[in-house]
A and B are shown apart, each in its own frame.
Chain A
Amino acid sequence: MSREALQESLSAVMDNEADELELRRVLNAFDDVETRETWARYQIARAVMHKDLLLPRLDIAAAVSAALAEEAVPAKASRGPWRSLGRLAVAASVTVAVLAGVRLYNQDEIAGVELAQQSTQPGLAVPQVKGPAVLAGYSESSEATGPMANGVLQGQPGWHDQRLPGYLRQHAQQAALKGTESALPYARAASLENR
């Protein structure tokens, strides 16, 4: 297999545009250290293009190997039509593993940008690529400004301070009148009065 073809396939996988053939090519070559280094370089190049330098240590080879190890036994053991189904299952799980890997990486990228914007700590400029840890931090930060955050008027007070309570009250009470679930809109209306 030519080096160029492999590199093209790698790039296609990275851009989430690989077809089955390319995916197989990359997966076959992934035992090769050089291929993995190329993958890492591509990710860095991509990160730089996005003005967001991370060091990717995402090793999808491990995830793929694990998926294959789990699926290989039923695929070999079965014969006839089941065998091809088994193969499909292997192919499916490999695809999921790779796509999940790429997806995970993309999410890290987003989280990385946000972290970099929110903080001046140099340590955060190079976050480790660890999905769950970063994702947890991400959802936490969105919670702070999320829907459970208390009702705070953004913008100019005054005009709205006068109107909004009345609007909220009228909406809640009209909803209570229409309500099929009668007690719930009433409770919403009452809770507005407890502030």
Chain B
Amino acid sequence: MRAIPLLTLLLGGWFVVPAHADEAQDWLTRLGQAEQQQSFHGTFVYERNGSFSTHNIWHRVQDGKVRERLLQLDGSAQEVVRIDGHTQCVSGTLIAGLGDSPNSAARVLDPQKLKNWYDLAVIGKSRVAGRAAVIVSLTPRDQHRYGFELHLDKETGLPLKSLLLNDKGQLLERFQFTQLDTSRAPSDSDLQPGADCKAVALDSNKATAVKTAQTWHSDWLPAGFELTSSSSRKDPGTKTQINSLMYDDGLARFSVFLEPLNGAAVTDTRTQLGPTVAVSRRLTTPQGEMMVTVVGEIPAGTAERIALSMRTDATATQ
């Protein structure tokens, strides 16, 4: 008896999903290509709780080279200039030094892979920044990641608007263009960094980074998340060595930071900053007490479980 409403739901769902899924995949493929092929400049807003900011972006694709400059328009003039995904200069408090870790090449959006962890669907049409857009939703298949709603430009496939939603459908952050011009490529002077943009020193510490990857691993990871980079740096303030690992599922990302406590009495914490959660848990290892901090755009419960699952290979072999 109870199977009957379920059956009707399933049957109903059948007719709706497949056509849209393929279409959604095509749109995401276009999105992946757009930033490699399309020159544009525009203005966008970014909003999360407690923060609203406006930014300019200049993006030029010329002779296969992608040059990009981002500049915050309100408050402090945060600025980044990148060439082919490699950061050339940053302003203000943006951390330098982690500029080019060994495997920092930008990853291409892979809809085939995303399909395993998200339900892709075209859910409608909209208008953003005066341009016609298609709405593509990425609904997570488990509770370990957030959902996205992307409004993609019909003409170019560029993301005009991106919303991050939690499992209750609450909005965590909004990224939205208010104005976009794809008709002409930005000039050299548009892409010229400002005086405050400090050049990024290349990080040549490859050996340590590899070592880190071998020393630490997680006993449990949400399905689909893979290690994409790891690094080790000395904090200039506290003089301690901090290992960091970054994982992603092709869309969502989180970092794990591991720092020796050196006897400091510290409690476990949990902080939520808009879409980003930070969970700290103490971990006892043969080398002494460590603090494991997971930072990322994932649900707090998932971050907590990851923090509790970090192991050194020394403890794993025992």
B314 is an interface residue with CB less than 8 A from chain A: no
Measured between beta carbons, the chain A residues less than 8 angstroms from B51 are 191, 194-195
Contact B264 A190 (CB under 8 A): no
Cβ–Cβ < 8 Å partners of A95 in chain B? 1-2, 4-5
Q: Which of A163, A164, A170 contacts B95 (CB 8 A)?
A: A170
Given B175, B246, B253, B264, which contacts A183 in the complex, CB threshold below 8 Å?
B175
CB of B106 within 8 A of CB of A180, answer yes
Asked if residues A182 and B82 are in contact (CB atoms below 8 Å), the reply is yes
Question: Which residues of chain B (262-285) have a CB below 8 Å from chain A?
Answer: 264, 266-276, 278, 280
User: Nearest CB to that of B8 among chain A residues?
Assistant: A92
Contacts of B49 in A (CB 8 A): 147-151
A185–B81 alpha-carbon span in the complex (Å): 14
- Name which of A35-43, A120-128, A171-179 contacts chain B: A171-179
> Which residues of chain B are near A92, meaning CB under 8 Å?
4-5, 8
Given contacts A169-B93, A188-B173, contact A88 B4 (CB under 8 A): yes
CA distance A78 to B297 in the complex (A): 53
**A-B pairs under 8 A by CB, number:** 199
Interface size, chain A (Cβ < 8 Å): 60
B269-A156 in contact (CB<8A): yes
Q: How far is the CA of A26 from the CA of B316 in the complex (A)?
A: 57
Residue of A nearest to B79 (CB): A190
Complex Cα–Cα for A176 and B55 (A): 15
A174 close to B80 (CB less than 8 A): no
**Could you say which of B15-23, B68-76, B127-135 contacts chain A?**
B68-76
A178 with B246: CB separation less than 8 A: yes
Interface of A is mostly: helix
Distance of A142 Cα from B169 Cα, bound (Å): 13
Interface residue range, chain B = 35 or more
B270 touches A154 (CB 8 A): yes
* Closest residue of A by beta carbon distance from B164: A184
Q: Does A91 contact B (CB under 8 A)?
A: yes
Q: Is the CB of B2 within 8 A of A99?
A: yes
Whole-angstrom distance from the CB of A4 to the nearest CB of chain B?
A: 22
B293 touches A167 (CB 8 A): yes
CB of B197 within 8 A of chain A?
no
Residues in A with CB closer than 8 Å to B255 are 167, 170-171, 174-175
How many whole Å from A74's CB to the nearest CB in chain B? 15
Q: Which residue of A lies closest to B177 (CB)?
A: A183
User: How far is B246's CA from A82's CA once the two chains are assembled, in angstroms?
Assistant: 57
Residues of A within 8 Å of B106, CB to CB, are 177-180, 182
Q: A154-B269, A173-B98, A187-B175 are in contact. Are A180 and B108 (CB under 8 A)?
A: yes
State A139–B166 Cα separation when bound (angstroms): 14
Asked if A143 is an interface residue, CB under 8 A from chain B, the answer is yes
Q: State in angstroms the CA–CA spacing of A151 and B107 once bound together.
A: 30
In the bound assembly, the distance between CA atoms of A159 and B290 in angstroms comes to: 13
Say yes or no: is A168 at the interface (Cβ < 8 Å to chain B). yes
Which chain B residues border A88 with CB–CB below 8 Å? 4
Q: Are B53 and A176 in contact (CB under 8 A)?
A: no
A169 touches B94 (CB 8 A): yes
In chain B, residues 162-186, which have Cβ atoms closer than 8 Å to a Cβ of chain A?
Answer: 162, 166, 168, 170-173, 175
Bound Cα distance A189, B229 (Å): 18
Apart from A159-B266, A182-B106: 12 A-B pairs, beta carbons within 8 A: A92-B5, A139-B168, A163-B257, A167-B295, A174-B246, A175-B246, A181-B31, A182-B68, A189-B94, A190-B46, A190-B72, A195-B50
Interface CB pairs A-B, < 8 A, 23: A92-B4, A95-B1, A146-B168, A146-B170, A147-B274, A148-B171, A148-B172, A151-B271, A155-B270, A159-B291, A163-B257, A166-B235, A170-B244, A175-B246, A178-B228, A182-B85, A183-B44, A187-B53, A188-B46, A188-B275, A190-B53, A193-B92, A194-B53
In the A-B complex, the 5 residue pairs with the closest CB atoms: A187-B46, A20-B1, A151-B273, A171-B255, A155-B269
